[in-house]
Structure 1
């Protein structure tokens, strides 16, 4: 799997500390590929949902740059599974999806998007990424 990247630091991706600052919450984007984002100190934090278990569960980006792959959601991110999470408005959603353009497939952040037969990365076109999900 040429697109897999090892996260440095303590063993296990769940050991990575990615605290969401107090008073900040994840917002639902309506995208099935980039489902949550948060505005932190003027920068967009965005999560990409990957084809698990072929790839890590999530990839965490700040302003379109990969920070880490995450297999275990940190405990302070419990809002990620909360169906009542606030939803972004159309302008913010467009801003995030423009920022994340062409980063739908796992590995795209390295210039080597996954094209394996064993996952769904090839389906993650820009049109699919921008499709609104309920």
Structure 2
């Protein structure tokens, strides 16, 4: 399910979360936009969540107006990261957002527990 076009054309400035699964987040209109990096190519490259609700999958980031190069910007603070991760609790594995978390042998989704998601590095 691709996101609506108006989401993809919106200018969004992303920040690193310093986690390995929900890798980028942005504060947009008092909501958290969060990108989950999926096990690619088994699953789409990213899944976008807005305040914990799935918006859609993204395979090609060149079709967006987003500034995904967050290396020059400071990462989220510890408090911001905790707020972001709370909004996506239980949504680490691909498909968990629709009640069908992936448990396939071909990807690492089964390892994406909330504890693993909180790991920084």
Matched, 1:104 2:95: no
Match of 1:76 among 53, 60, 65: 65
Distance in 2 separating the partners of 1:20 and 1:84:
20
2:83 is matched with 95
Q: 1:34 aligns with which of 19, 22, 45?
A: 22
SS at match of 1:88: coil
Which consecutive residues of structure 2, in runs of 5 or more, have no partner in the other structure?
none
The total of aligned residue pairs comes to 119
Residue correspondence of structure 1 range 1-134 to structure 2 within 5 A: 7=1, 16-17=5-6, 18-21=8-11, 24-73=12-61, 74-77=63-66, 79-133=67-121
Q: Distance in 2 between matches of 1:14 and 1:129?
A: 23
Q: Which has the larger radius of gyration?
A: 1
Deviation track 1:74-99 (CA, whole Å, cap 9, x = no partner) reads 3422x323422321101110000011
Runs of 4+ off more than 4 Å? 13-17
Q: 1:119 to 1:83 in 2, by over 3 A?
A: same
Q: CA RMSD in A?
A: 1.8
Output one character per residue of 1:50-71: Cα deviation in whole Å (capped at 9) or x when no partner.
Answer: 0000000000111111111000
In 1, the alpha carbon distance for the partners of 2:9 and 2:118 equals 27
- The alignment's TM-score, normalised by the length of structure 1, stands at 0.81
Structure 1 unmatched runs, 5+: 1-6, 8-12
2:97 is paired with a residue whose SS is: helix
